[in-house]
Chains A and B, each alone.
Chain A
Amino acid sequence: GDSVTQMEGPVTLSEEAFLTINCTYTATGYPSLFWYVQYPGEGLQLLLKATKADDKGSNKGFEATYRKETTSFHLEKGSVQVSDSAVYFCALSDAADGGGYNKLIFGAGTRLAVHP
């Protein structure tokens, strides 16, 4: 079945550092890919998405490019802030796996801590 693998955390950075969180996937079809963010004590918020190969999703300074050849969707940000401290989840939705509805499969999550 489909799966998502994320780099293990926690990731600890100083403010204004460059961020990369790796995400790779396996899928039977042509999935859509997502990054969700969970701030402390809150639910999940959609951060960005990409629906086909070579698409780049971006939001709030974060970017991720859908790389079919490497089955990856790495999250990047050029300059992190303390307010970016959260848990980041990579996820895929593959209608080909699961009866045709858009089931989301999540990675384990990566905790990011940004210090001043």
Chain B
Amino acid sequence: SAVISQKPSRDICQRGTSLTIQCQVDSQVTMMFWYRQQPGQSLTLIATANQGSEATYESGFVIDKFPISRPNLTFSTLTVSNMSPEDSSIYLCSVSGGASNTQYFGPGTRLTVL
């Protein structure tokens, strides 16, 4: 499986600021996804990061709040904008590719908003 890294691994941010999270894969992948895991909760898909076009957002998530970039087949960023304490979560990227529909996850970014 692909090796996936995320930066930063954790951060503490102030209300009203923005944070950009990076996801890097060691091989080209077809699909990249961003998930949110709120404290003690399961994972919820935020959006699918599409290479060369706008991301596809799930219900309840909007581009203004969670802008996503995917400039190539190995890299994506998720920005959490105008943060509030409710944005405190673990943010995970995942990848899949080829004929397999299996998703592999990065280590996550633990975000705390004060």
Interface set of A (CB-CB < 8 Å, partner B) = 32, 34, 36, 42-46, 49, 51, 89, 93, 95, 99, 101-104, 106-109
Contact = CB atoms under 8 A, between A and B. Distances in A.
A45 B3 CA distance: 12
B2 to A, nearest CB: 12
B94 A104 contact: yes
Contacts of B56: 99, 101
17 contacts: A34-B102, A36-B105, A43-B92, A43-B106, A43-B107, A44-B94, A46-B103, A93-B101, A102-B96, A102-B101, A103-B33, A104-B43, A106-B43, A107-B42, A108-B41, A109-B41, A109-B42
A56 B92 CA distance: 28
Given A44-B43, A44-B92, A102-B96, A32 B105 contact: no
Contacts of B96: 102
Contacts of A93: 101, 103
Contacts, number: 52
Contacts of B31: 101-102
Chain B, interface size: which category? 20 to 34
Given A101-B48, A103-B48, 5 more contacts: A32-B101, A42-B108, A45-B105, A46-B1, A46-B104
Contacts of B101: 32, 51, 93, 95, 102
Given A89-B42, A102-B31, A106-B42, A42 B102 contact: no
Contacts of A108: 41-42
